[in-house]
């Protein structure tokens, strides 16, 4: 099966050009919001170009505390503090990949539930062109993708056990 290897530099460069597109769109976020764990490093790189504070939410794909019962839909593992007032603010939600769209659908729907007075946009570094299981909320302000790619498995530099050999044949 074909795969992609995206090095740290590939990812950083994709985010740099994406930040330019986001700025050109007129969407000016007050906050970046990383979806852990995949969105953490992309959000930090984005902050180099769009210098706003980073918020974090985290999901679990397991429905029990021992982490062994796979769940059909994700569950919230960590969310925003209820005293984080985002009313009237613009928030750019960031993840590394949009695959089946389960994560984005779940996260965005819950963010609109908990923060109805906030404008959300989403950015993913890689969007797999495929039939998606999830849908994006209609009120999503913008959906930015760094690269639209084939439905191949992606190896990310941060998953490498041996970073010096990463991407080398």
In terms of CB distance, is 30 or 106 closer to ligand G4P? 106
Query: What angle, rounded to 10 degrees, do the helices at 40-49 and 8-25 form?
Result: 60
Give CB contacts under 8 A, 24+ apart, made by 135-142: 135/101, 135/105, 136/101, 136/104, 136/105, 136/108, 137/105, 137/108, 137/109, 137/112, 139/112, 140/108, 141/27, 141/90, 142/22, 142/25, 142/27
Member of 41, 97, 122, 125 binding ligand G4P (CB under 6 A): 97
Stretch 40-69 residues interacting with Mg ion (CB under 5 A): none
Cβ closer to ligand G4P: 86 or 108?
A: 108
Is 85 within 8 Å of 106 (Cβ atoms)? no
User: Looking only at residues 124 through 153 of this chain, which bind ligand G4P when binding is defined by CB under 6 A?
Assistant: 153
CA–chain centroid gap for 74, Å, is: 15
Q: How many CB atoms lie within 10 A of CB 30?
A: 14
Instruction: Look up residue 104 and give its two tokens.
Output: 């984005």
Would you call 99 a catalytic residue per the annotation?
A: yes
Catalytic residue among 83, 87, 99, 148: 99
Pick between residue 18 and residue 107 the one whose CB is nearest to Mg ion: 107
- Strand 70-78 and strand 143-149: the pairing is unpaired
Looking at 6, 19, 38, 99, which residue binds Mg ion (CB under 5 A)?
38
User: Which residue's CB is nearer to ligand G4P, number 51 or number 162?
Assistant: 162
Using rule CB under 6 A, residue 99 touches ligand G4P: yes
Interaction of residue 123 with ligand G4P, rule CB under 6 A: no
* Active-site residue list: 99
Task: Using CB under 6 A, list all residues that contact ligand G4P.
Answer: 37-38, 61, 96-103, 153-154, 156, 159
Contact set with Mg ion (CB under 5 A): 38
């Amino acid at each position: 099966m074909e795969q992609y290897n995206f090095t740290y530099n590939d990812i950083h460069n994709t985010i740099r050009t994406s930040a330019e597109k986001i700025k050109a769109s007129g969407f000016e976020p007050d906050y970046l919001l990383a979806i852990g764990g995949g969105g953490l490093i992309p959000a930090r790189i984005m902050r180099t170009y769009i210098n706003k504070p980073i918020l974090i939410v985290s999901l679990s794909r397991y429905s029990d505390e021992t982490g062994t019962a796979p769940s059909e839909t994700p569950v919230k593992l960590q969310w925003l503090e209820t005293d984080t007032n985002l009313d009237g603010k613009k928030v750019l939600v960031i993840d590394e990949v949009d695959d089946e769209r389960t994560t984005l659908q779940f996260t965005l729907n819950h963010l609109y539930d908990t923060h109805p007075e906030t404008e959300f946009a989403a950015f993913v570094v890689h969007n797999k062109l495929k039939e998606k299981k999830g849908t994006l909320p209609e009120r999503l302000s913008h959906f930015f993708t760094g690269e639209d790619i084939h439905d191949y498995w992606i190896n990310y530099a941060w998953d490498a056990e041996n970073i010096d050999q990463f991407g080398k044949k």
